[in-house]
Chain A
Amino acid sequence: MAYTLTVGAVSRQLQPVQVSATKSLLLIELLGDTELTNAVADAMVALVPPGCDLIFTVATSAIPLAHALSERTGLPYLVARKRRRTYMDHPLIQEVESMTLGVGETLWLDGRHVERVRGKKAVLLTDVVVSGSTLAAMARLVERAGGVVVGRLAAFARTGATDLGDISAVATLPKS
């Protein structure tokens, strides 16, 4: 069933898509949606913990949101990648223990970025949180780089999929 998502003054009709034989998910995409990205960023500013030094996100779909949040808060952002890039220098490598996909994923943080995390307070940023496993891997990366995680932000959380714990989300989505 379609679902109407409203963030600030922006509404979107989300359609369910079949992702496996037994499972369908509401399709939500920030990439290419400048208006929705900006509405989410506007709503997210109040969720950023005070005293935080940087935004830490992961490729790909949350990147424009990270930029928009950075623009609004003045905080710099860093991006962990999902593939090794040739230019990376002594990258930190972190496995994601994924419960939803059943296949492992790996996060890569360029050594040049590791230095920018050391001693800093980071807020983690993702677009859709399902199991929280990506956020857990991101937290581990920040800690291994010598930083401290002071908050976890998601644009959207799929309800029922996880105990959100300390994750702050702008909006929740029904399971399907």
Chain B
Amino acid sequence: MKSYRVQIGSLWRDLPVVEVAPGTSVALFNMLGDTEATEQAAALLASKIPPTVQVLVTPEVKALPLAHAISRISGLPYIVIRKTQKPYMVHPVVREVISITTGKPQLLVLDGLDVPKIQSHRVAIVDDVVSSGGTLTSLSEIIGSVGGDVVAVLAVFTEGAERPEILSLGHLPLFH
């Protein structure tokens, strides 16, 4: 199988290249279960966080261990934007986004209980891979709509188009 080699700190990982749409393949980066790579990426990304940041916001699912580890290292709390609305949520804030990996509409949901932790706070978004930026745009909209100020975006990798404004550790190409 075709693979693509990446470096995370002192580690090397061979990512499987998988087709996600006819004629388009991506290097599949899934840090879930890779505790060593998560910890190294978290340490490197934590050192890039602008000093004014007060809270981290992350979408579920794959970036959760990364957000936890960055939170532990930096001492900043993290808030999770969910992909489904839960019965226990109070006044949730909901946005829809089209996902590049699934091609389907995807919900992003912020529990109303978490709104005060974002309102009037400077936020860094944490994700594993930022690709088309669809998720990022919707996350920024949700955060902005409840009065948070996104001052940084942290990602292990950017993908597709180069995005110098994102604080990342590397770049993944799209394969055509």
Contact = CB atoms under 8 A, between A and B. Distances in A.
Interface of A: 17, 19-20, 25, 27, 31-32, 34, 37-38, 59-60, 63-64, 66-68, 70-71, 76-79, 81, 85-87, 89, 112-113
Contacts of A59: 60-61
Interface of B: 16, 18, 20, 28, 30, 32-33, 35, 38-39, 60-61, 64-65, 67-69, 71-72, 77-80, 82, 87-88, 101-103, 114
B68 A68 contact: yes
Contacts of A32: 77-80, 114
Contacts of A112: 16
Contacts of A20: 87
Nearest to A76: B33
Contacts, number: 71
Given A32-B80, A86-B101, A67 B38 contact: yes
Given A19-B87, A32-B77, A34-B71, A86 B20 contact: yes
A19 B88 contact: yes
* Chain A, interface SS category: mixed
A155 B59 CA distance: 23
8 contacts: A25-B88, A32-B80, A60-B60, A63-B64, A63-B65, A64-B68, A85-B102, A87-B18
Given A32-B80, A38-B72, 7 more contacts: A32-B79, A60-B82, A68-B68, A76-B35, A79-B32, A79-B33, A87-B30
Contacts of A71: 35, 39
Nearest to A55: B33
Nearest to B58: A32
Contacts of B69: 67
Contacts of B16: 112
Contacts of B82: 60
B68 A34 contact: yes
Given A32-B79, A32-B114, A87 B20 contact: yes
B28 A87 contact: yes
B82 to A, nearest CB: 8
B85 to A, nearest CB: 13
A175 to B, nearest CB: 16
Contacts of A113: 33
A113 B14 CA distance: 15
B123 to A, nearest CB: 13
